[in-house]
Amino acid sequence: MATTDIQIQILQTGTITVRPSLYTQPHTRSPLLRLLHILTDRQWRSPSLPVYTFLITHPTEGRILFDTGMSPSCNGPGYFAWWFPAIKFMSRLSITPDQSIGTQLLERGIGPGDLTAVVLSHLHHDHSGGLSDVAGAPVLMSKEHWEAFQSPTAATLSGAAPNHWPRDFAPDFLQATGGPVGPFEKSYPVTADGRVVAVETPGHMRGHVSLVVFGDEATTYFLTGDATYDLESLDAEGTDGANDDPVGAVETVRKIKQLARERPLVVLPSHDLGSRQRLEEKIAYKPSNTGF
């Protein structure tokens, strides 16, 4: 039976310029040494990184938003905790008010009540900064990630801005009731028909998830969140500088590569300038054998 197409749109919420050491470091380097490298880095990486969110329109189950992007308030005084200036040191943030996720959704006639679900890959400020714009919509994330970020102090130290989450923010948890997806042992259905599921992609952060969207015909989309920053890093099995489990991060990127060997996979990282073209032209990623 032919399936009706699922649409995916990229909505960009500003850009981030990062230290090269935040972008990538060897996976053999410990989290503490990684942080030291970032804090002593004086360079800025060019080009700046886009901050993408993804609006998925399912033919019968409505609209799902993957991540909420950065907040236009992020450069305002007091947005980040004064006692933890590291985010300002390691990144430069740029976003205009009309790039907020709330404004972009409203431009399309979509309010929070029109969203079936908001799925968060993780709570870093550039993925959860628009949460207050979609307050009222069901928010889904992994229980493991929520528990790691539940304390405001721990969340702040990990790169979130918990003071700007909606009042009494209480996400729902993804449930592992789906079967395996390639090398991912289990999946967390987001839609009842199983065409949108989350899979565990830890490494960048505990409990981080990516989203798999089974499109029409033979195309499967893999929305990585921050499991990788771009296809070059993915192919080289590089790890980003800020992750808290570099060895786990390598295991995760190997699984994504394995899935791409098993089926045509359009890989869409949140900070990859190539994601737009890959989405529009349905360009599947063909892994090299690096690391194997």
Helix, strand, coil distribution of the chain in percent, nearest 5 = 30, 25, 45
Asked if the bond preceding 59 is cis, omega within 30° of 0, the reply is no
CB nearer to Zn ion: give 110 or 223.
Answer: 223
Q: Is 180 left (phi over 0), alpha (psi -120 to 50) or beta?
A: beta
Cα angle 157-13-138, degrees, rounded to a multiple of 5: 75
CA gyration radius, the chain: 18
Closest to Zn ion by CB, 226 vs 237, is 226
**Residue 67 binding Zn ion, by CB under 5 A:** no
- Quick one: which segment of 104-112, 122-130, 144-152, 247-255 binds Zn ion (CB under 5 A)? 122-130
Q: Which is nearer to Zn ion, 6 or 242 (CB)?
A: 242
Site for Zn ion in 167-186 (CB under 5 A): none
Q: Would you say 127 or 257 has its CB closer to Zn ion?
A: 127
Instruction: Return the exposure string of 193-217: e unless at least 16 CB atoms fall within 10 Å of the residue's CB, then b.
Output: eebbbbbbbbbbbbbbbbbbbbbee
Smallest gap, in angstroms, from Cβ of residue 119 to Zn ion?
Answer: 15
**From the list 124, 164, 195, 271, which residue makes contact with Zn ion (rule: CB under 5 A)?**
124
Shortest Å distance, C-beta 205 to Zn ion? 6
Residues 219-238 that bind Zn ion (CB under 5 A): 226
* Residues at the contact surface with Zn ion, assessed by CB under 5 A: 124, 226
